[in-house]
């Protein structure tokens, strides 16, 4: 029987044969493209050096982790974090080596906040003296820190946090106190079970000046401030008296990190706990000097946001690698007019439709063009089909860990408002013809004030003018918000309508990406002609895709003409057909190791079905258990005589 199973092969053509053919049909040089993608960075060398160290360590084996309970996943994550930290000592890894290793292992480490937010807050907000004390302890991991800002009732709105830090001039201490349940710190990573220190954000309450007496002084809040606080005993690892702390429990994704709740019951901390690079309180006089820019205290959040953007890029590259490899292999759709014909590879489907449409167009019927593009983008939602939901897809953890990032570290709505404020301010400078304004902003200001003329850009023949068109559109949208808010002085709440749509912000971000992408094309001279052409096609595909889906903006801002907009669906289809033969080699160039992908569908060698079967038949622990299916018998595991007492004990 086992020899029967061992001898079985997938039906022809096999995934390995297909993916080999995919690679043979493209003369893109994966090595050269990889070197270019990671230019100015020794990422590839680093990955080659670190990967074997990681895969040699049994604790980093990923095969069974989806079968572990949350408590076991957390134990595993802490063990892995310790090993990673030891490897830093052992191989004298720098921080980039460490981060790469952490990315490969793909756990969010219980030390994550210590290594990122905690140390950053100390570096940015602590005085020189505080830094001299804490930085060596942090680097040596003698203390493990976290960052406690958000509360049960207050996530986005930092001003609204309720935890109080009340200055007691008589003892020269602060008293940390949670007056309500909604003041409970909540979501704070690494703090639930791991950290013994935390940066704690609390409302600084000071006695009203002139009332600095011992008899019930009247207190006023000076807003949220940062304190560095020891919360657990360094020997017993138990919370200190006056601190209630724990992990908030299982959640969507991020099983390996201990998000905390934390309450303080009149907990006293010394004067030195106040991080005082910017905010200062004289312990003797009680005189307080506030930071020049109050928002400076939240800088730490910004750092983490940029980390999230960086990791999202890697997450996206992983998802695209899996999707392209698998859809080149997966045969799924069949032509209803040829029901006995072969199924098409999912990846060929959009260009297959393109070929059909070409024929019609050659016969003078242009109607299919307009909708082909929306079809091809609609496809992505179900192109992975059933196996995308399987644990072996490599998507299940990626999906749940990344989905929640939309909300982590400040929800999108708050960030949207902040970015909009900034953009409005910049546009104000342009309106005042200030020196900081850029060309597209000035052009818009002048034209819409009747002092200039807006000419369409030629986006079909000039890459540079594609960039100009995106800049024009972004400036046009920001100008609209600027006029509403600053010139017409509309209330902020009424602007929420357009801000929520996020158009002006997104337009600005996309304009940046298009600009960087276009600039990077000029640095590819050393690549083969094919590769350069494909990269330029990718640039245009990206630009045209966004232009077409937001066509109206580009027309209204006179960035492009209606006839060029109408030409885009056809151009997009042509670009897709040009890129299609190179798709597998393009994703190969991200050089994502199979160990990181952890995906049967996205394996480099194309052995999709062999790996799906192996994971099910050889690795699934459920198959080691024989069950008793008879409902009239208590026994769950055949021969155990146990009934359900053991499982009941876990409830």
Q: Looking at residues 172 to 201 of the shown chain, list those that interact with a copy of itself (rule: CB under 8 A).
A: 178-184, 186-187, 192-196
Please list every residue from 441 through 470 that binds a copy of itself, using CB under 8 A: none
Among 334-342, 536-544, 578-586, 589-597, which window interacts with a copy of itself (CB under 8 A)? 334-342
**At its nearest, how many Å lie between a copy of itself and the CB of residue 433?**
27
Please list every residue from 416 through 445 that binds a copy of itself, using CB under 8 A: 417
> Of 44, 448, 577, 636, which lies in the binding site for a copy of itself, with binding defined by CB under 8 A?
636
The interface mask with a copy of itself, positions 50-69, x = CB under 8 A, is --------xx-x-xxxxxxx
Using DSSP, state whether 137 is helix, strand or coil: helix
The interface mask with a copy of itself, positions 563-592, x = CB under 8 A, is ------------------------------
Please list every residue from 496 through 525 that binds a copy of itself, using CB under 8 A: 496-498, 500-501
The contacts of residue 31 (CB under 8 Å, 6+ apart) are: none
C-alpha of 140 from chain center? 28
Burial tier of 272 (Cβ tally within 10 Å: 0-12, 13-18, 19+) = middle
Does 629 bind a copy of itself (CB under 8 A)? Our answer is yes
Nearer residue to a copy of itself within complex by CB, 39 or 181: 181
What is the residue whose two structure tokens read 């201990």?
Answer: 258
Number of residues that bind a copy of itself (CB under 8 A): 157
Among 9-17, 100-108, 518-526, 552-560, which window interacts with a copy of itself (CB under 8 A)? 9-17
| CA distance from start to end of the chain | 40
163 vs 239: CA distance, rounded Å: 18
Q: Is 561 left (phi over 0), alpha (psi -120 to 50) or beta?
A: beta
42 vs 22: CA distance, rounded Å: 28
- Among 187, 193, 223, residue whose Cα is nearest residue 205: 223
Nearer residue to a copy of itself within complex by CB, 535 or 576: 576
> What are the CA-CA distances from residue 476 to residues 274, 322, 425, 445, 552 (Å)?
45, 38, 14, 9, 12
Please list every residue from 306 through 325 that binds a copy of itself, using CB under 8 A: none
**At its nearest, how many Å lie between a copy of itself and the CB of residue 522?**
37
Please list every residue from 147 through 166 that binds a copy of itself, using CB under 8 A: 150, 152-153, 155-157, 159-160, 162
588 vs 23: CA distance, rounded Å: 9
The interface mask with a copy of itself, positions 269-308, x = CB under 8 A, is ----------------------------------------
**At its nearest, how many Å lie between a copy of itself and the CB of residue 274?**
24
Among 223-231, 454-462, 508-516, 627-635, which window interacts with a copy of itself (CB under 8 A)? 627-635
Does 117 bind a copy of itself (CB under 8 A)? Our answer is no
Contact 198, 146 (CB under 8 A): yes
63 vs 200: CA distance, rounded Å: 38
> What are the CA-CA distances from residue 219 to residues 179, 180, 181, 287, 564 (Å)?
15, 18, 21, 14, 65
Please list every residue from 347 through 406 that binds a copy of itself, using CB under 8 A: 352-353, 356-357, 360, 368, 371-372, 374-375, 378-379, 382, 385-393, 395-396, 399-400, 403-404, 406
Burial tier of 574 (Cβ tally within 10 Å: 0-12, 13-18, 19+) = middle
The contacts of residue 60 (CB under 8 Å, 6+ apart) are: 54, 80, 83, 104, 105
Please list every residue from 196 through 255 that binds a copy of itself, using CB under 8 A: 196, 236-238, 241-242, 244, 246-253
């Amino acid at each position: 029987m086992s020899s029967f199973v061992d001898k079985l092969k997938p039906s022809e053509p096999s995934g390995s044969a297909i993916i080999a053919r995919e690679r043979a049909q493209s003369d893109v040089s994966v090595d050269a493209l990889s070197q270019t993608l990671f230019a100015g960075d020794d990422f590839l060398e680093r990955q080659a050096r670190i990967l074997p160290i990681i895969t040699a360590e049994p604790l980093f084996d990923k095969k069974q982790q989806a079968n572990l309970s949350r408590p076991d996943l957390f134990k595993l994550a802490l063990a892995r974090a310790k090993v990673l930290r030891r490897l830093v000592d052992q191989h004298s890894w720098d921080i980039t080596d460490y981060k790469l290793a952490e990315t490969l292992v793909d756990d969010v480490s219980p030390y994550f906040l210590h290594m990122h937010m905690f140390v950053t807050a100390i570096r940015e907000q602590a005085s020189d003296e505080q830094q001299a004390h804490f930085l060596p302890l942090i680097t040596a991991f003698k203390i493990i820190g976290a960052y406690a800002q958000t509360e049960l009732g207050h996530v986005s709105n930092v001003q609204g946090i309720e935890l109080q830090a009340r200055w007691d001039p008589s003892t020269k201490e602060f008293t940390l106190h949670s007056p309500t349940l909604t003041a409970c710190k909540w979501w704070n990573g690494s703090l639930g079970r791991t950290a013994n220190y935390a940066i704690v954000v609390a409302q600084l309450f000071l006695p009203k000046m002139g009332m600095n007496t011992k008899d019930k002084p009247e207190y006023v809040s000076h807003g949220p401030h940062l304190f560095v606080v020891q919360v657990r005993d360094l020997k017993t690892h138990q919370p200190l008296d006056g601190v209630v702390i724990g992990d908030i429990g299982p959640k969507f994704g991020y099983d390996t990190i201990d998000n905390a709740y934390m309450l303080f019951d009149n907990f006293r901390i010394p004067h030195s706990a106040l991080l005082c690079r910017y905010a200062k309180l004289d312990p003797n006089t009680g005189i307080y000097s506030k930071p020049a820019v109050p928002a400076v205290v939240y800088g730490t959040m910004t750092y983490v946001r940029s980390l999230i953007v960086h990791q999202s890029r890697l997450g996206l590259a992983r998802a695209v690698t899996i999707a392209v490899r698998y859809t080149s292999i997966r045969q799924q759709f069949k032509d209803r007019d040829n029901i006995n014909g072969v199924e098409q590879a999912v990846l060929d489907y959009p260009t297959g439709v393109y070929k059909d449409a070409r024929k019609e167009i050659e016969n003078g019927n242009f109607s299919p063009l307009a909708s082909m593009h929306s079809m091809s983008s609609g496809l992505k939602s179900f192109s992975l089909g059933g196996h995308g939901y399987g644990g072996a897809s490599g998507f299940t953890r990626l999906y749940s860990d990344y989905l929640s990032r939309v909300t982590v570290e400040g929800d999108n709505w708050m960030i949207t408002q902040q970015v909009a404020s900034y953009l409005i301010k910049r546009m104000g400078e342009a309106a005042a013809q200030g020196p900081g304004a850029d060309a597209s902003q000035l052009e818009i200001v002048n034209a819409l004030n009747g002092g200039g003329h807006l000419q369409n850009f030629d986006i079909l023949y000039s890459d540079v003018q594609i960039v100009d068109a995106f800049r024009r559109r972004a400036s046009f949208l920001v100008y609209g918000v600027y006029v509403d808010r600053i010139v017409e002085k509309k209330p902020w709440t009424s602007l929420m309508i357009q801000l929520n749509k996020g158009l002006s912000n997104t337009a600005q971000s996309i304009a940046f990406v298009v600009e960087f992408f276009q600039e990077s094309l000029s640095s590819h001279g050393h690549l083969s002609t094919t590769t350069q052409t494909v990269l330029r096609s990718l640039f245009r595909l990206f630009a045209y895709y966004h232009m077409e889906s937001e066509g109206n903006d580009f027309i209204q801002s006179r960035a492009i003409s209606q006839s060029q907009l109408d030409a885009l669906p056809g151009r997009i289809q042509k670009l897709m057909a040009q890129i299609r033969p190179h798709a597998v080699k393009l994703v190969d160039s991200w050089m994502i190791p199979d160990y990181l992908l952890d995906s049967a569908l996205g394996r480099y060698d194309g052995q999709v079905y062999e790996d799906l079967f192996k994971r099910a038949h050889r690795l699934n622990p459920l198959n080691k258990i024989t069950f008793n299916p008879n409902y009239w018998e208590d026994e769950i595991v055949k021969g155990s005589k146990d009934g359900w007492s053991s499982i009941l004990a876990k409830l």
